[in-house]
Amino acid sequence: MLLLLAGSGEARTLAQELADAAIPAVASLAGVTRAPAALALPTRSGGFGGAQAFETYLRAHSITAILDATHPFAARMSRRSAEIAAKLGLPYLQVLRPAWQPGPGDNWTLVADEESIAAHVIPGSTVFLATGRQSLIRIGPLAARRAICRQIDRPDAPYPFADGDFMIGRPPFSVAHEAALFSRLGVNQLVVKNAGGDASATKLTAARDLGIPVLMIQRPPQPDAERVDNCAEAMAWVRGLKW
């Protein structure tokens, strides 16, 4: 049985391709989004309850290989999965899409992590946090005139700092949508995690078109393990295993 660690667009594609190829597989979601679109595989949801419980799950469900297509910032999960797979002798592959690279016209400041954002915020600016609510506590309060944090689900608690608001939006968003939104809100700084991928690069194109500077949070360190950057190579790896 293959365990597909999901949470990315690639995981969605791979779930479909694994189902089409009749590979025995189960998908796992972190459960951070309240009503995620269904995957094409039987799916469990929510954390496993730590490393030991994850290991117990792998044994109890006769998992024989792990295909890790979590979000590029879900690095704790990736590192732990790679380590436990190595310990148990299970084949493990990470699917990690390429990071975005700045091009002509982009005005990016690279920052190491969420905690580094505050030092780079232009005092009095309107900051759009395209990072999701999970990053908010790490980012902390900002010297902005206003901070707006977009998240998929309706917030279950008020914005944790003064002068900030949540807004709800479920991706994907077009370039035109993002440009109209940033103009309407008067955004003059954008905070983005370097997730990579075409679908969510539209905000970066809109920022470039409008001349909005971007604070780009770099990816956390990834596991020292076998890795591909696309679904085709991931499926070739799966097909190369014994089923």
Ligand X SMILES: NC(=O)c1ccc[n+]([C@@H]2O[C@H](COP(=O)([O-])OP(=O)(O)OC[C@H]3O[C@@H](n4cnc5c(N)ncnc54)[C@H](OP(=O)(O)O)[C@@H]3O)[C@@H](O)[C@H]2O)c1
Tally of helices (H runs) and strands (E runs) in the chain: 7, 12
Residue 189 in contact with residue 173, Cβ under 8 Å? no
Residue among 6, 8, 11 nearest 235 (CA): 11
* Interaction of residue 95 with ligand X, rule CB under 6 A: no
- Give the three-state DSSP class for 235: helix
Rounded CA-CA distance 126/136 in Å is 16
The interface region with ligand X, picked from 70-78, 88-96, 118-126, 140-148 by CB under 6 A, is 70-78
**The one among 77, 148, 207, 215 contacting ligand X by CB under 6 A:** 77
Among 13, 23, 70, 231, interactor with ligand X by CB under 6 A: 70
29 makes contact with ligand X (CB under 6 A) = yes
Per-residue contact string for residues 174-213; x = within reach of ligand X by CB under 6 A: ----------------------------------------
- The structure tokens listed for 9 are 């667009």
Least distance CB 162 / ligand X (angstroms): 22
The string of DSSP codes covering 5-37 is: E--SHHHHHHHHHHHHTT--EEEEE---SSSPP
Q: Least distance to ligand X from the beta carbon of 131, Å?
A: 7
Contacts with ligand X, residue ranges (CB under 6 A) = 5-7, 28-30, 32, 47-50, 54, 70-71, 73-77, 132, 134-135
